[in-house]
A = this chain, B = another copy of it.
Amino acid sequence: MDDLARSFSSAFQTIKITLCYDGTPFVGWQRQANGVSVQGLLEDALGRFAGEPIPVIGAGRTDAGVHALGQVASARVPDRPDLDVVLPRALNAMLPEEVRVLRVEVLPAGFNARYAAREKTYRYRIVNSDLMPPFERFYAWHVTGPLDPDLMRSSASALVGTHDFAAFQGAGSGVATTRRAITRSSLEARVALPGAGPGSCLLEYEVTGDGFLRHMVRTIVGTLVEIGSGRWAPDRMMRVLESRDRRQAGPTAPAHGLFLVSVQY
């Protein structure tokens, strides 16, 4: 059966899979020639369940080391009763413990996790302290030297709206447009992290938008840290945005602080 025929066969169901993963050991979401990918693991597990190859489509391609609390994938699988109950158990039994399927929903044919996504929410975690707590080493960026959360917060909120984010786009992506609508861009600071010494602070940046360019969240965060450290003036964020020039923005923050929190449909 070819792909098109299979897509509309009544012997198949379209499913939406919500999953979380610790990105530390993976080459990222996307299947690659070398290394273990989350997509590859999920496709292999679905293939074993179905007895035939099952391609999956992810809502967002997370890079190596990036985590997900609520990644979403879609697939077409052979129809069986109670897929929403049977499939999460079967998949979790086959997947390594770094990946957990939270939910499987049966949706109308044609649902595509990537194209149907209305908005995505990402979180970026920064530990601002002299010492990096060992428990955070794979889940936050360690920034030493004081950061001013208020300066970062106002710069973050300036990004809300529809803008051309070309200045925050990593090299090597060929998207048609670099305009994106950001509906939320906020920063929370929590003090006194266990194991981080006195004066430590956990900064959590959350951003929601209709789409994100390659490395966009990490480049926003890299710019926020430049501003929070006082090295750059607070109005620099808007000037970077207006420049549409990647060289004006801050460094790309490391992947392991980033979490794909949820995908809205």
Q: Within A209-259, which residues are at the interface with B (CB < 8 Å)?
A: none
Say yes or no: A195 contacts B135, CB within 8 Å: no
Q: How far is the CA of A131 from the CA of B131 in the complex (A)?
A: 32
The answer, yes or no, to whether A190 is at the interface (CB within 8 Å) is: no
* Number of A positions contacting B (CB below 8 A): 22
CA of A97 to CA of B132, assembled, Å: 8
Among the 9-residue stretches A8-16, A98-106, A150-158, the one with 4 or more Cβ atoms under 8 Å from chain B is A98-106
Distance in angstroms from A73 CB to nearest chain B CB is 16
Question: Which of B67, B98, B102, B134 meets A98, CB within 8 Å?
Answer: B134
Q: A21 interface residue, CB < 8 Å from B? A: yes
Chain B residues, CB < 8 A from A131: 92, 100, 102
Q: Residue of B at shortest CB range from A137? A: B97
- The 8 A CB mask of A105-144 against B (1 = contact, 0 = none) is 0000000000000000000000000011111010100000
CA distance A237 to B67 in the complex (A): 41
8 A-B pairs besides A20-B195, A100-B133, A100-B195 with CB distance below 8 A are: A20-B134, A22-B134, A22-B137, A67-B135, A98-B137, A99-B134, A100-B134, A102-B195
Residues of A in contact with B (beta carbons under 8 Å apart): 20-22, 67, 69, 92, 97-100, 102-103, 131-135, 137, 139, 194-195, 197
- 17 A-B residue pairs with Cβ-Cβ distance under 8 Å, sorted by A, are A20-B195, A21-B134, A22-B137, A67-B135, A69-B195, A92-B131, A97-B132, A97-B134, A97-B137, A98-B134, A99-B134, A100-B132, A100-B133, A100-B134, A100-B195, A102-B131, A102-B195
